[in-house]
Structure 1
């Protein structure tokens, strides 16, 4: 199995956004990412027939419809119909025509992208990770499917983290974090980070906010899929393996609406649009479509959104991402030996990247 090297992915990003600002190197990145993909790579789309026959899509349609309408009812909004969730399926259908929605799937067998320099391991198991963060409330369902068996995976852990509405990550101190300052106060903050178990249907549910942006990247959320981890008394997880390192994105038109609201519109950093983001473009070229499916909960974006996505993984794959910090009682503690230590421009990072 061939894996995409995390350092190479990060190198491609910094070259594209720092060394050659404004240059179009997407073609080169696409070629490199494609060359690094495993020939036996499978996605959720490869499981379409089995998932349809098992009634998975019908069950998920019902569940998603019930959840979004419950959330819309809290806002006084009218309920959506089944075809508002997925126009290719009716509620009464057990097996129907292929859904364009169900073709969307994240990477398997190789990391979709690097974990980046702001992953903090040891986060709490909790559904609501907002912790007072201001922004567009996002109710997110992540469905995890085993592409080797074409079945949803229960009783595993999904980790999620993202920056706040103005592009700052919590739990770390780095010059490249958000506004370009060290933001030392964030080292003791764990907002917008958390872990959730998957239920019988393979779904992990979070409440977060739509992510802001920072220089060089479009808006995105990070995820890691953990298998065989143990829940500890302090409500964190330990051990097991990681099958998937990925990022989720929001369509540009929706993000444009979100970015026009406060406090997103106070962010003065340069905004990289979706189609100009190097990592998103590389993933798309490799056959991925990690765009969240989104439904508004009211007449205004300020009422919040409901988002969902299927993620295909192979549990037998073991990725080895590197956290920059580990969360503890006193905040983020540096992870000794992390390739991201001292990001962005220490000698260690340069050596790791072969610079």
Structure 2
């Protein structure tokens, strides 16, 4: 697998592909490759036995079944007594076949990370699209246990491929219309099972990238009175994706079908291809709540992290009462034409993540 990853990395580097309009992902490809090559790298698959024997896999599967049924009942597509369960033993046997995990550093924070977002589960703020109830489970792969004291940050573009809280050429029409809203951005704490829950939408596509959600995992942060967090460390910077055939169905619905930007498929997205290496699977597991996408979706994913890892992502803006305001000295300032991170700059260190066996 390592040889395959290295061969793929060489091909991707040679193409000089972009992550966003004007951006270059070579730096992220090299970071991901360094992570895949690390001798102490562990995935959720490495923890399968512990997670099964502790009962966590069975418990989470049953919780997810119940949650999907709850959503279906609330939407009028099922009766309370109609819950049908899958054999837990079958679920335990299948767990880890596709690891459904992403490990630091899986990918870049991108040019549109806005720090200081609010702690909230529903991040829609008036946005429409394929409404998705998303459960993210965070697993400590050094101890094979759920992480119960982290904050999960989530953000993505809207159905037409525009990020809120920022202004940049290539972000929609490049106007400042999205700066004043923090739609589709927020944080949630992990609960006793390591789960953080959001209500968002399947993100739209934009030039140079397939549809994806961004996530950052925070540890040891302090909850402030204004419902934001401060301090702590970041162990993981990653991206989640959607299976291509299902994505094609989403793109046919409103308002996705009004998006005129060029489409990049998963197969043509270089960060998606690197994210799939090493046994990882950054693709959301999605179920229909009703009979069609417009009825809503339930999605899950397990994220493996080393809580002692230290990442240093850089925001371009900070969220304030006045909307998104520039962060002084951000390497993303001026994106995509004149920012420090616009071109290819190799990482200064071969390994920028702390690992423990």
Could you tell me the TM-score, scaled by structure 2's length?
A: 0.86
Could you tell me how far apart the structure 1 residues matched to 2:310 and 2:19 are?
Answer: 31
For residues 133-156 of structure 1, give each alpha carbon's deviation from its aligned partner in whole angstroms, at most 9, with x where no partner exists: 010100000000000110001121
Q: Which residue of 2 aligns with 1:82?
A: 85
Q: Which residue of 1 aligns with 2:351?
A: none
Q: Which residue of 2 aligns with 1:86?
A: none
Alpha-carbon shift at residue 82 of structure 1 (Å): 2.8
Residue range with higher mean Cα deviation, 132-141 or 285-294: 285-294
Q: Which residue of 2 aligns with 1:70?
A: 70
Taking structure 1 as reference, are residues 282 and 18 closer, same or farther at Cα in structure 2, changes over 3 Å only? closer
Q: Which residue of 2 aligns with 1:34?
A: 33
After superposition, where does 1:110-125 map in structure 2 within 5 Å? 110-125=104-119
Gaps of at least 5 residues in structure 2 are 1-8, 347-357
Taking structure 1 as reference, are residues 187 and 76 closer, same or farther at Cα in structure 2, changes over 3 Å only? same
Is the aligned partner of 1:164 residue 2:158? Answer: yes
Contact 1:61 1:82 (8 Å CA) reproduced: no
Could you tell me how far apart the structure 1 residues matched to 2:67 and 2:194 are?
Answer: 15
Taking structure 1 as reference, are residues 291 and 333 closer, same or farther at Cα in structure 2, changes over 3 Å only? same
Contact 1:34 1:286 (8 Å CA) reproduced: no
Could you tell me how far apart the structure 2 residues matched to 1:159 and 1:30 are?
Answer: 22
For residues 176-219 of structure 1, give each alpha carbon's deviation from its aligned partner in whole angstroms, at most 9, with x where no partner exists: 21x3x222011111000000000000000000011000000000
Is the aligned partner of 1:130 residue 2:124? Answer: yes
Q: Which residue of 1 aligns with 2:5?
A: none
Q: Which residue of 2 aligns with 1:104?
A: 100
Taking structure 1 as reference, are residues 18 and 333 closer, same or farther at Cα in structure 2, changes over 3 Å only? closer
Contact 2:106 2:238 (8 Å CA) reproduced: yes
Could you tell me how far apart the structure 2 residues matched to 1:164 and 1:94 are?
Answer: 37
Could you tell me how far apart the structure 2 residues matched to 1:353 and 1:282 are?
Answer: 18
Partner SS state of residue 149, structure 1: coil
Is the aligned partner of 1:195 residue 2:187? Answer: yes
Partner SS state of residue 41, structure 1: coil
Match for 1:280 among 266, 272, 289?
272
Could you tell me how far apart the structure 1 residues matched to 2:32 and 2:192 are?
Answer: 34
Gaps of at least 5 residues in structure 1 are 1-7, 84-89
Taking structure 1 as reference, are residues 154 and 95 closer, same or farther at Cα in structure 2, changes over 3 Å only? same
Could you tell me the TM-score, scaled by structure 1's length?
A: 0.86
Partner SS state of residue 257, structure 1: helix
Q: Which residue of 2 aligns with 1:16?
A: 17
Alpha-carbon shift at residue 61 of structure 1 (Å): 1.0
Could you tell me how far apart the structure 2 residues matched to 1:117 and 1:212 are?
Answer: 16
**Number of residue pairs the alignment of both structures matches:** 329
Q: Which residue of 2 aligns with 1:260?
A: 252
Alpha-carbon shift at residue 350 of structure 1 (Å): 5.0
Taking structure 1 as reference, are residues 129 and 252 closer, same or farther at Cα in structure 2, changes over 3 Å only? same
Could you tell me how far apart the structure 2 residues matched to 1:224 and 1:41 are?
Answer: 19
Alpha-carbon shift at residue 13 of structure 1 (Å): 11
Could you tell me how far apart the structure 2 residues matched to 1:80 and 1:31 are?
Answer: 46
Partner SS state of residue 16, structure 1: coil
Match for 1:142 among 133, 136, 151?
136
Taking structure 1 as reference, are residues 12 and 231 closer, same or farther at Cα in structure 2, changes over 3 Å only? farther
Moved over 6 A (4+): 29-32
For residues 228-250 of structure 1, give each alpha carbon's deviation from its aligned partner in whole angstroms, at most 9, with x where no partner exists: 00110000000000000000001
Contact 1:13 1:278 (8 Å CA) reproduced: no
